[in-house]
Amino acid sequence: MKTARESRSDGRSRWITRGRSPENGRSVRSTAAPFQRGHRLRRLVTSVSLLLAHLAFGGCLHPTGGRIVALHLVPTHVGDAAAGEACVLLVTADALPGFGPPDRKTPLRVACDGAEVNVVPAALASGEVAELRVVPDLAVVGEHIEVVVSGDTRTIPCRATLEVTDPPEHRGALLEASIAVRDAFVPWLESRHPELGIDAATEWEAVPIRTHRLVVTHCVFLSTEWECVVWWHVTIPPHDWARMSLRRRFADVTPTLAPQIASRASGDPPQAIDPPDEIIR
């Protein structure tokens, strides 16, 4: 008995067995397609089983391994990161569909040549927001540095690029002017939004940003709960507007409230405006 492949007129092929019958010596032929189909099905089942076993032992599908988590940095590019000044980036985590608990904490690891880095908190669950401080060194002024945030073996890392610029000139005068603009909004926040808990006694940490912009000046202020960004137009009335945005730290990725003073010199009271679509850095 011999097995061979036979081509059909419709372009398909099948396996047949040729030989002689032991009873009468006549030539016989039988189709082996069912055997071949069964063989291919067994191979497919075996391959899928091996793939699932590989993923399970690798931690991707193991119930105790948790889901794969994708990390994100906001923003992904900063065009004016002054050396010696903190640039505060936001880190978020999204659990991808799969087996395992969706709320597992992912440990955060940060790598960046040419800068001092610190991330808080050190582990992140899906839906939470961490803050990453990057302080570029003086030695990398004029260069682009890359920040990479990774986690464990079940984490998709993220990265951002910073263009490092010279330290700000007249830093003291810049902070003094920034504080004056911030304080111009505080009475309005205290009266219109007492639920925020912001008043004249709120303590802030100043973080200068975009220090080489000449027409519009910027500064970030951080309290225990809030990130406040102020920016104002350095010009004569009536175009000397000032604006503020507020973001709840470790909870929101974008600002949720923004007021504006149409003209600082004219003494216009703050008015609510649409908050920016993204944080300002």
CB 99 within 8 A of CB 52: no
pTM: 0.76
- 172 phi and psi, to 5 degrees? -60, -45
Task: Say what the pLDDT of residue 127 is.
Answer: 86
Average pLDDT estimate for 10-25: 53
Task: Say what the pLDDT of residue 250 is.
Answer: 97
CB 217 within 8 A of CB 208: no
Task: Say what the pLDDT of residue 178 is.
Answer: 98
Domains of the chain: 2-58 (no CATH), 69-165 (2.60.40.10), 171-273 (no CATH)
Q: Which residue has the higher pLDDT, 95 or 147?
A: 147
Average pLDDT estimate for 215-242: 96
Pairwise CA distance, residues 130 & 147, whole Å: 15
Task: Say what the pLDDT of residue 119 is.
Answer: 98
Task: Say what the pLDDT of residue 19 is.
Answer: 53
pLDDT digits (tens, 9 = 90+) for 79-136: 999 999 999 999 999 988 775 565 678 999 999 999 999 999 999 988 899 999 999 9
Residue owning tokens 């040419």 = 114
Beta strands in the chain (DSSP E): 2-7, 13-20, 27-31, 69-74, 77-82, 87-95, 106-107, 109-111, 115-120, 123-124, 129-136, 144-150, 155-156, 158-165, 205-209, 216-222, 226-233, 242-248, 258-261, 271-273
Average pLDDT estimate for 43-62: 47
Provide the percentage of residues in the chain whose pLDDT is more than 90. 68
CB 191 within 8 A of CB 151: no
The helix/strand/coil state of 46 is helix
- 139 phi and psi, to 5 degrees? -70, -15
Average pLDDT estimate for 194-215: 96
Task: Say what the pLDDT of residue 16 is.
Answer: 54
Task: Say what the pLDDT of residue 57 is.
Answer: 39
Residue 132 pairs in a beta bridge with 89, 119
Task: Say what the pLDDT of residue 263 is.
Answer: 96
Average pLDDT estimate for 157-184: 97
Task: Say what the pLDDT of residue 67 is.
Answer: 78
Whose CA is closest to 148, among 166, 163, 134? Answer: 134
Cα angle, residue 227 at apex, residues 167 and 210 outer, rounded to 5°: 25
Task: Say what the pLDDT of residue 32 is.
Answer: 47
pLDDT digits (tens, 9 = 90+) for 28-37: 444 444 445 5
Calculate the alpha carbon distances from 125 to 64, 75, 94, 108 in Å. 16, 19, 8, 10
